Amino acid sequence: MEYLYLILVGFGAAFVQRVSGFGLGIFAMMFLPHFLPSHTAAATISCLFSCYTTTFNAIRYRKNVAYKTAIPMLAAALISIPIAVYFAAKVEAHIFEILLGSVLIILSVYFLFFNKKIKIKPTPVNGIIAGTLGGALNGLFSTGGPPAVLYLTSAAPDNITYFATIQFYFCLTNIYATANRAINGLVTVDLLVYAAVGIVGCLAGDFLGRKIFDKLDAVKLKYIIYIGMIISGILMLF
């Protein structure tokens, strides 16, 4: 049953990622912690899922990446990720659960009510801030997308540049975060097997997302996900 759950979560996470450009980690962390042995294991598998999907998309859209825009974010994330991973490896499970539940609720409230109201200037300083926050969330919970989304929606001149650049950013930061998790003893053979099983679902989810991308109401899909985040966060807290 665990393998089936992993395939289903991988499918949903990759589908959401392909439709909206981000959200794989958030979707996966809504479900993985409820049936895996630990929350750090869930974050590790979520990060491995993201390594596959974002690497594929980063290579496919490499000609559209705004590399200069991504550099400040990447530089900052490379510093904050190892600190966050080290902290995640040391924190007790119940504290981790409270932190993750709180983060899911805060992120969902932001996307539901403030996403279109908050705009930031696409400056290198703001890129560094976004990369620092994104790296911290990635290292802790494998949910580093929102700060990058907030920054790149203002910095990218068009949708294809936004999508390509954020996939490139996720690709490098997730590979780096996985390496740091391995150094801290969080990547085990069992988790690699789990991730390999779940990637089967990721393949199907990404394929279906590409096929029906133009036919979906992405806005409604996102609202469903945000409400799910609130519910999952509340379950983790209480």
The pLDDT of residue 115: 67
Q: Which of 62, 97, 88 is nearest to 233 (CA)?
A: 97
**Residue 179 — very low, low, confident or very high, per pLDDT cuts 50/70/90?**
very high
User: Token digits for 142?
Assistant: 């494998």
The pLDDT of residue 214: 61
**Residue 140 — very low, low, confident or very high, per pLDDT cuts 50/70/90?**
confident
pTM of the shown model = 0.80
The pLDDT of residue 109: 83
Three-class SS of 186-231: CCCHHHHHHHHHHHHHHHHHHHHHHHCHHHCCHHHHHHHHHHHHHH
pLDDT exceeds 80 at position 47: yes
**Residue 173 — very low, low, confident or very high, per pLDDT cuts 50/70/90?**
very high
pLDDT exceeds 70 at position 215: no
Q: What is the pLDDT of residues 9-36, one digit of tens each?
A: 999 888 888 776 677 887 888 888 878 8
User: How far from 186 is each of 65, 178, 215, CA to CA, in Å?
Assistant: 31, 9, 39
Residue 230's domain comprises 2-237
Q: Which of 184, 129, 172 is nearest to 151 (CA)?
A: 129
User: Phi then psi for 185, rounded to 5 degrees?
Assistant: 75, 20
Average pLDDT for residues 76-97, to the nearest whole number?
A: 85
User: Token digits for 46?
Assistant: 């979520």
Average pLDDT for residues 172-193, to the nearest whole number?
A: 91
Share of the chain above pLDDT 70, in %: 91
**Residue 82 — very low, low, confident or very high, per pLDDT cuts 50/70/90?**
very high
pLDDT exceeds 70 at position 213: no
Count up the domains in the chain and report the number: 1
Q: What's the rounded Cα separation, in Å, for the pair 96 and 209?
A: 32
User: Token digits for 76?
Assistant: 């900052």
pLDDT exceeds 80 at position 76: yes
**Using CB atoms within 10 A of its CB, is residue 192 exposed (0-12), middle (13-18) or buried (19+)?**
middle
**Using CB atoms within 10 A of its CB, is residue 113 exposed (0-12), middle (13-18) or buried (19+)?**
exposed
Looking at per-residue pLDDT, the higher value among 182 and 228 belongs to 182
The pLDDT of residue 53: 83
